Structure 1
């Protein structure tokens, strides 16, 4: 049975779960929390996934095992996303194994708190390089294949700190604002190539290790509950899917109604 107005059928809705079959995604920072959930969501959709982490190899290998259990191919690609050399090595390995990367999710980030006047240049760049400059390097490494194929997805992460300042976290706010800027720029430049570029702005998300919500934080959210990693992964899955072909250059908030 088909709903002519909405353009979908029961059969089509059942197929959405494997709508990324044959595609390959790179997800940075995918050993735990949001990155892990995104990797697993893609795997459920039939997508091969390259999982990444900077230090905890076991967490990344555990994610890779779960990805593989979904019946798709995976690759563990350890490396610091703040290092251009590490990203180059990851890209070379990934491309040699899969030929082309269709989806890039720039999730890796650092969020240290330190008063601005006490920051060193190293403190500043350790945040900017991982969260913002890495978007430049991964996009340059993987977008040529997308251009050749006439199809691709870049999904970046901003957050509410792209909307307002972050107390004792100046480089975090700067990086998140910058990610929003590069998202808009790339979406404009590559729209005609079949590549969409979007950003997800997560709200307050409960870590995988937390048993329940933090009551104080949940009280400030209109829905009354904190988000979970799967909430963000669902949006990433949609933006990566063929159904989202007409969405580009957007920053989509997933925050329980907490818009500022």
Structure 2
């Protein structure tokens, strides 16, 4: 997509201090979109993402907070709207992925995952959708994950949360499509982290494409979903996985 495709728009990207979230933030900035950068712990990483957004010619606002906390989400939303007036694109990327046998999973373990990935996405969408409805345009991009959709080994809360987000996405697509708002979900496959230069041979061998994806591959997909060109694409799960079975 050419620079300026999203000029004048603002995106909120949760979990954008590293990897996929950072790549999405920079790609949207390259399209002219202002970005609200969010993370729960590593403020320095979020500031680096913001620096890269600004280097791409867009405005950035760092708002730290836990997407699993209702109070934090309320504070983040208020600050984002005060700065930019409206948020046109919501990318719910924040998640927790602890590994624990199901029979050892406590209520607290369960809630910690569900609160961030599912309830946090619900709260962000509920908060920013009124502005989208008012302007007759908006994009919601949520995240699943190949392992979560298959069934996460020793990660039942992760699979449950991501299936819930998939249901939320489908419901939002039905309700808000008539208002010019799309809602889709991206399901990444085997993705290298930004700090790893080479594929893991054991993982790459299982991918029909023969190589692992990168955060930029996911960012490119999100950029298209956020663009005006994707106006007729809603309620879909986009598997970005090099051809592995979804």
Matched, 1:222 2:203: no
In structure 1, what is the Cα distance between the partners aligned to 2:47 and 2:53?
Answer: 10
Matched, 1:34 2:16: no
Q: 2:46 aligns with which of 47, 60, 68?
A: 60
Q: 2:6 aligns with which of 20, 32, 48?
A: 20
**Preserved contact between residue 253 and residue 259 of structure 1 (Cα < 8 Å):** no
Q: Which sits farther off after the overlay, 160-169 or 197-206?
A: 160-169
Q: CA deviation at 1:251?
A: 0.3
Q: 2:87 aligns with which of 91, 94, 101?
A: 101
Residue of structure 1 in register with 2:68 after alignment: 82
SS in 1 for 2:16: coil
Q: CA deviation at 1:17?
A: 2.6
Residue of structure 2 in register with 1:212 after alignment: 198
Matched, 1:151 2:130: no
In structure 1, what is the Cα distance between the partners aligned to 2:67 and 2:107?
Answer: 18
**Preserved contact between residue 87 and residue 137 of structure 1 (Cα < 8 Å):** yes
Q: Alpha-carbon deviations, 1:215-238, whole Å to 9, x = none? A: 111111001100000000000000
SS in 1 for 2:99: coil
Q: CA deviation at 1:163?
A: 2.8
Residue of structure 1 in register with 2:163 after alignment: 177
In structure 1, what is the Cα distance between the partners aligned to 2:34 and 2:56?
Answer: 10
In structure 1, what is the Cα distance between the partners aligned to 2:243 and 2:174?
Answer: 28
Q: 2:29 aligns with which of 43, 49, 59?
A: 43
Which structure has the greater CA radius of gyration? 1
RMSD of aligned Cα (Å): 0.8
In structure 2, what is the Cα distance between the partners aligned to 1:251 and 1:128?
Answer: 20
Residue of structure 2 in register with 1:4 after alignment: none
Number of positions where the alignment pairs a residue of Structure 1 with one of Structure 2: 246
In structure 2, what is the Cα distance between the partners aligned to 1:129 and 1:213?
Answer: 32
Q: Which sits farther off after the overlay, 207-216 or 100-109?
A: 207-216
**Preserved contact between residue 29 and residue 107 of structure 1 (Cα < 8 Å):** yes
Q: Which sits farther off after the overlay, 100-109 or 68-77?
A: 68-77
In structure 2, what is the Cα distance between the partners aligned to 1:199 and 1:17?
Answer: 24
Unaligned runs of at least 5 residues, structure 2: none
Runs of 4+ that moved beyond 2 A: none
**Preserved contact between residue 162 and residue 180 of structure 1 (Cα < 8 Å):** no
